[in-house]
Chain A
Amino acid sequence: MQDLCTMVHLCYCLFLVLSPLIELKDSQIIFCTDVVSAMLIRATGQNLRLAYLRSLESLDLVKQIEVSEFLFSGDIAALIYLCNPFTIVACVGLSTSPIENMAVILCLYGACSRLIPLAAFGWVIATHLSLYPAILIIPVIFLLGCGPDSPPRKLFLQRHQQKEVLNQSKLPPRFSWGPVIHFAFWAFLWSVYVLVLCGISLKQFGGLWEMFKSTYGFILTVEDLSPNIGVLWYFFAEVFEFFRNFFLIVFHVNILFMILPLAIRLRHRPCYLAFVYVAICSMLKSYPSVGDSALYLGLLGWFVNELADMQFSLFLFCGYVGVSLLSPVMHNLWIWRGTGNANFYFATAMVYACLQIVLVVEGVSAMLNHDRKLRNLITGKPQDAKS
């Protein structure tokens, strides 16, 4: 259903101008978007790796952490994105989620390589297509303000206090408002542009307000209850009508609640913050699809070096494999064979949601542990570390 929504959007803005909608299903556009996304992921991953190495260098930790053993996270992330069965399924099924994914990746790529107009364009289009990427504005602001992922700024200060020489050039830059304002300007420009285009093409269909109602409204009110891999369809099929509005607010505020604490805790790692946001959105959005999981699993590849100590990796892997095999079977049992019922399928959806939660929780704690480890390397036992 998200597809439908995106299709409507695409119809409204881009493809009405560029190419007729019908061609989307026939042509290779979706395949191409996947390839382009993978290339962008690779480029961003290389950026991140370089930034990480640079920060290690300025912390003088290069010797203790075998830099030569560092994996090329960009390549790995791109490979994960391309070889992921979820991506393949979404591509073969001609879902439009690869296009949404590309918009998100475009935004992050632009922010990482400081192409501010591109970042603004990606953010506007991603928001326009599926609304949820709107919260990516926070990591993008951090990215533009302080540069890509690095250990906490506190560490650099401590390091240089030990050495008692405060070398300003080795410190990460302070938060600068210039690029952010630049970004805001471009974002404003692009959204005006998109809205004007939509307004022109929608003149005979009831204007912009009608578009907002039937796209964002459709996403926010969870009108379509046909089964998907999320949990909301089941919940809203069961809930009493007079509680519906209340729970709609609860579920959507749920995402908003997580934004602030995560932003505070992970502000020094904006790309990782973006990954966490994307994962949370794909868990709590109203019409999730496997294409969303493909996106955040691909982004996970960027942090291969940092997440080397992640726990439960085998468990998570087996869980993903098991759920992605079991849920079509359950669906078959319920819809086709008629021997099962909705609970069978919903059970797999719940397991899937739990797996995503475990992934996010473990990922965040592994990242924090990594930071802690770096801190220990600097402060805890410096002489040991050097030996």
Chain B
Amino acid sequence: MAETKEKSLSDEKPKPRVRPIVRLGIFLISHSFHVSVVCCTAGVLALFLLPVLAKNTYISENALMPGSASPMLSNQHVSDGNRLVKDLTNPNSKSSETGIESHKIIAQYMLDLGAEVSFHKFHPQMNQFHPLHFFSSPDSGKIQENYSCSSYGINTVGIIRAPHGDGKEAIVLVTPYNALKSGFGEALSLGIAYSVFSLLTQVTWLAKDIIWLVADSQYGEYAAVAAWLREYQTPKFSSLSTPNAEMCPDVNNLFELKGHSISGSKFSNSFRRAGTMASALVLKVRDQNEQFEDTISIYAEASNGQMPNLDLINVVNYLAVHRQGLRVNVEKLWSLLNSSWLKSLGEIFESLAKVAKSLYPKWKFGIPATEYVEGTATLASSLYYQALGVPTGPHGAFRDYQVDAITLEISPKFSLDKVWRNDILLRGGRLIEGVIRSVNNLLEKFHQSFFLYLLTSPSKFVSVGVYMIAFALLIAPLPMVAASLYVDANSSSNCSKGDSSTPSAITDTDEHSIAIRSWRWLNSAKLVFIVHLWGAIVSLLPYFISQIPDCSPTTSFMIWVLLSILSLLTLNSVLASPLACAKATQEKEWALVKSVTISSVFIGLGLMSVINFATAEIGALLMVPMCLLAQPLKLDVRAGTLRSFCRMICNLVLGHIAFPPAAFFLLKGMLDGFGNANVGDFWMWVESLWAWNSATYLFIGMVQLPCWVLCISILFHTC
């Protein structure tokens, strides 16, 4: 206030007119409470509207031309595939302990088709702590010292060179196969892949090389594919001293056998490569099925919520539905399907759409309530799996190398007769053939369609432009409230100055007059910085805890909690110097802390929405209300009105819910029931997050946890 008086004195002319944009800003800041209530409600509402706003998918890339050519896969190829299935399910082939026999059978079949065959041996990598890994490109992997010959896997790789191609591009077909305990489904998936493979050796239209990878899934499907990809993309040249898979007698044995049993021109010991991968398909067949028709499930989520290009899903969906008559599924949260509140919400939307349509016939945005419920369940699961940041199948390994990949899981209606088996082989094979033929047409990488989208059904999607609106509405109040708190805190202190002293003099009464005026927030910024530093420390602690041998999840978790509290206290006593305490008596200190906290949360959420949208959305749903409502409990108690009482209750509830472990247990309880909740579960969950190098782990450690601590400290602020 003092400054404005000075200004008016010195200028001696009427205040210039404030520009409209500034006036709008001032209006928004002064009404920040109403604006934030409106924005947050609109944000949540927009989230629930997403299934209604979903658009039908369309094939964006012209070159794909799915289904334009009639399938060439004939019964001859199907019977070839059948032969392989029979050989693999034959009990004789399972005699060997390591399952080498079945690998040899597969290799023999590939060689008979004239493909190049090689084996790739790998050691499964242990879970490692690399939370920042998502940001860097995948490395060639650490060479571990404790390799033993007892644990290794063998991938069988067959490559068909394209007659018309230049060998610079390739399409990958992956079939996970566990030689030791393979079910009938895995054999069947190999059969389908083989029938397609045998067709592709004969066709003339092939422009890209075809790689068929039979991934040894005894250490997990993902590990095998990831190991092969790592070798393919970033070859490592280890020194001779490290023990290698080649040295193991068992494997050498395998090669010797190969040597004289196979006419070996096309077989090679070394790692074989084709061109850069245009896309990859992972094919699985499920063993048990309770469905009444043949369905095919699509899994697309890779690490950190990355999705393959939508065109790939479109092609599969189009060919499966319109050519092969298979039902296409994407993952749903089944528990949501029966919820009544969702159904009633859907009915409300439906009736609203009806009213709108009666008002103006061109408004056609409504969808039936059942469809809405299904869309919401699919959307929720899409959000959930993206937010988790853990890939839903072996296709996730490809996305790390910018290769578009999906997993197709065929679940046939179960029967054992031969006609049925042939039918599944034929339809599955034709689907794969069609997809490969489409991808084969591509001139460039997939780039036309969306990478950032959420699915609400196999043929409907919400693009980034739509779902970002919901998120933007949710976090829009944050900067406004931060600004209004900041202005409040500053102006109130200025007012007190103006009262206590004459306007023009810079005050003898006020001690910190010059040094801190517009820089008062630095103190709060220091506090926020300390807490975020603590968050970084907490996120790093599990690395050391996981080194402790023989530690049960529960004890690990307890150690983690104890160390975290200890480090918080230490940091607080070391870095929060007595000088800060002397200054902390400023009035409205909490408002500045809250303002800086909200700013940091805004930055954190904005950052996360770029890295992984779903995490940011779920995090925003938890954190935004907590941040906006936080106010010292003392003030509320002192005020004693109904409104402050409500706010106090909300604060306490949110303070409990938004604590990351509490949120986890609540979510888990809602999904699985509260009966078997265990403290160690959280540790296991967190462990899985960092092992899959999910950015969600960092988000929880460095944004959500510090925000929660700061909000709690505001709640218990002594003012």
Would A337 and B515 be within 8 Å (CB), given that A64-B505, A314-B521, A384-B502 are in contact?
A: no
Measured between alpha carbons, how far is A333 from B305 in the docked complex, in Å? 13
> B93 contacts the other chain (Cβ, under 8 Å)?
no
B506 touches A64 (CB 8 A): yes
B518 touches A308 (CB 8 A): yes
| B518 contact set on A, CB distance < 8 A | 308-311, 313
Choose the segment among B2-10, B52-60, B429-437 that binds chain A (4+ C-beta atoms closer than 8 Å).
Answer: B2-10
> A336 contacts the other chain (Cβ, under 8 Å)?
yes
A314 touches B595 (CB 8 A): yes
| B306 contact set on A, CB distance < 8 A | 337, 339
How distant is B118 from chain A, measured CB to nearest CB, in Å?
A: 29
| A309 contact set on B, CB distance < 8 A | 3, 517-518
| B348 contact set on A, CB distance < 8 A | none
| A344 contact set on B, CB distance < 8 A | 610
B519 touches which of A70, A308, A369 (Cβ 8 Å) = A308
Name B592's closest neighbour in chain A (CB-CB): A314
Measured between alpha carbons, how far is A315 from B521 in the docked complex, in Å? 11
A338 touches B610 (CB 8 A): no
B607 touches A329 (CB 8 A): yes
Measured between alpha carbons, how far is A70 from B513 in the docked complex, in Å? 10
**What 1/0 flags go to B507-521 for Cβ under 8 Å of A?**
010011111111101
Measured between alpha carbons, how far is A344 from B504 in the docked complex, in Å? 48
| B603 contact set on A, CB distance < 8 A | 318, 321-322, 325
B596 touches A387 (CB 8 A): no
Measured between alpha carbons, how far is A329 from B135 in the docked complex, in Å? 8
Would A376 and B506 be within 8 Å (CB), given that A314-B595, A336-B137 are in contact?
A: no
> A171 contacts the other chain (Cβ, under 8 Å)?
no
| A70 contact set on B, CB distance < 8 A | 514-515
Residues 303-330 (chain B) with a chain A CB within 8 angstroms: 306
A322 touches which of B506, B606, B611 (Cβ 8 Å) = B606
> B127 contacts the other chain (Cβ, under 8 Å)?
no
Measured between alpha carbons, how far is A166 from B611 in the docked complex, in Å? 67
Q: B517, B518, B611 — which one has the most chain A CB atoms within 10 A of its CB?
A: B518
A308 touches B596 (CB 8 A): no
| B486 contact set on A, CB distance < 8 A | 314
A333 touches B610 (CB 8 A): yes
Measured between alpha carbons, how far is A326 from B508 in the docked complex, in Å? 44
A65 touches B504 (CB 8 A): no
> A71 contacts the other chain (Cβ, under 8 Å)?
yes
Interface residues on A, range: 35 or more
Measured between alpha carbons, how far is A310 from B137 in the docked complex, in Å? 42
> B184 contacts the other chain (Cβ, under 8 Å)?
no
Measured between alpha carbons, how far is A71 from B525 in the docked complex, in Å? 19
Give the number of chain B interface residues (Cβ < 8 Å).
39
> A305 contacts the other chain (Cβ, under 8 Å)?
yes
A69 touches B6 (CB 8 A): no
> B255 contacts the other chain (Cβ, under 8 Å)?
no
B135 touches A332 (CB 8 A): yes
How distant is A309 from chain B, measured CB to nearest CB, in Å?
A: 6
A313 touches which of B402, B511, B519, B610 (Cβ 8 Å) = B519
B9 touches A380 (CB 8 A): yes
**What 1/0 flags go to B601-629 for Cβ under 8 Å of A?**
01100110011000000000000000000
Measured between alpha carbons, how far is A333 from B606 in the docked complex, in Å? 14
Name B403's closest neighbour in chain A (CB-CB): A338
> B451 contacts the other chain (Cβ, under 8 Å)?
yes
B504 touches A317 (CB 8 A): no
| A328 contact set on B, CB distance < 8 A | 135
How distant is B517 from chain A, measured CB to nearest CB, in Å?
A: 5
> A66 contacts the other chain (Cβ, under 8 Å)?
yes
Name A313's closest neighbour in chain B (CB-CB): B518
| A153 contact set on B, CB distance < 8 A | none
> B599 contacts the other chain (Cβ, under 8 Å)?
yes
| B521 contact set on A, CB distance < 8 A | 313-314
A308 touches B517 (CB 8 A): yes
| A384 contact set on B, CB distance < 8 A | 502, 504-505
| A315 contact set on B, CB distance < 8 A | 483
A69 touches B511 (CB 8 A): yes
| A65 contact set on B, CB distance < 8 A | 506, 514
> B442 contacts the other chain (Cβ, under 8 Å)?
no
| B137 contact set on A, CB distance < 8 A | 336
B505 touches A339 (CB 8 A): no
How distant is B692 from chain A, measured CB to nearest CB, in Å?
A: 16
B610 touches A326 (CB 8 A): yes
Name A63's closest neighbour in chain B (CB-CB): B508
| A104 contact set on B, CB distance < 8 A | none
> A213 contacts the other chain (Cβ, under 8 Å)?
no
> B452 contacts the other chain (Cβ, under 8 Å)?
yes
| A336 contact set on B, CB distance < 8 A | 137, 402
Residues 507-553 (chain B) with a chain A CB within 8 angstroms: 508, 511-519, 521, 525
| B508 contact set on A, CB distance < 8 A | 66
Name A328's closest neighbour in chain B (CB-CB): B135
| A325 contact set on B, CB distance < 8 A | 603, 607
Q: B137, B402, B452, B505 — which one has the most chain A CB atoms within 10 A of its CB?
A: B505
Measured between alpha carbons, how far is A264 from B61 in the docked complex, in Å? 59
Residues 54-77 (chain A) with a chain B CB within 8 angstroms: 64-66, 69-71
How distant is B526 from chain A, measured CB to nearest CB, in Å?
A: 12
B610 touches A330 (CB 8 A): yes
Q: A313, A321, A338 — which one has the most chain B CB atoms within 10 A of its CB?
A: A338
| B504 contact set on A, CB distance < 8 A | 376-377, 380-381, 384-385
| A332 contact set on B, CB distance < 8 A | 135
A69 touches B10 (CB 8 A): no
B599 touches A339 (CB 8 A): no
B514 touches which of A69, A326, A329, A333 (Cβ 8 Å) = A69
| A318 contact set on B, CB distance < 8 A | 599-600, 602-603
B10 touches A317 (CB 8 A): no
Measured between alpha carbons, how far is A314 from B502 in the docked complex, in Å? 28
| A376 contact set on B, CB distance < 8 A | 6, 9-10, 504
| B10 contact set on A, CB distance < 8 A | 372, 375-376, 380
B451 touches A339 (CB 8 A): yes
Name B446's closest neighbour in chain A (CB-CB): A338
A69 touches B599 (CB 8 A): no
| B517 contact set on A, CB distance < 8 A | 308-309
| B3 contact set on A, CB distance < 8 A | 309, 369
| B502 contact set on A, CB distance < 8 A | 384, 387
> A373 contacts the other chain (Cβ, under 8 Å)?
yes
Residues 326-375 (chain A) with a chain B CB within 8 angstroms: 326, 328-330, 332-333, 336-339, 344, 369, 372-373, 375
Measured between alpha carbons, how far is A280 from B607 in the docked complex, in Å? 28
How distant is B627 from chain A, measured CB to nearest CB, in Å?
A: 14
A305 touches which of B402, B511, B514, B599 (Cβ 8 Å) = B514
Would A314 and B599 be within 8 Å (CB), given that A64-B506, A385-B504 are in contact?
A: yes
| A372 contact set on B, CB distance < 8 A | 6, 10
Name B452's closest neighbour in chain A (CB-CB): A339
Would A329 and B611 be within 8 Å (CB), given that A337-B306, A337-B402, A381-B504 are in contact?
A: yes
With A69-B515, A314-B486 known, 20 other A-B pairs at CB within 8 A are: A65-B506, A66-B506, A69-B511, A309-B517, A314-B596, A314-B599, A317-B525, A322-B603, A322-B606, A326-B606, A332-B135, A338-B402, A338-B451, A339-B306, A339-B451, A344-B610, A372-B10, A376-B6, A380-B6, A384-B504
Sorted nearest first, the 4 A-B pairs with minimum C-beta distance are A339-B451, A322-B603, A338-B402, A318-B599
Which B positions have Cβ atoms within 8 angstroms of A? 3, 6, 9-10, 135, 137, 306, 402, 445, 451-452, 483, 486, 502, 504-506, 508, 511-519, 521, 525, 595-596, 599-600, 602-603, 606-607, 610-611
Which A positions have Cβ atoms within 8 angstroms of B? 64-66, 69-71, 305, 308-311, 313-315, 317-318, 321-322, 325-326, 328-330, 332-333, 336-339, 344, 369, 372-373, 375-377, 380-381, 384-385, 387
23 A-B pairs (CB sep. < 8 Å):
A69-B511, A70-B515, A305-B515, A308-B515, A308-B516, A308-B519, A310-B518, A311-B518, A313-B518, A314-B525, A318-B599, A321-B603, A329-B607, A329-B611, A333-B610, A336-B137, A336-B402, A376-B6, A376-B9, A376-B10, A376-B504, A381-B504, A385-B505
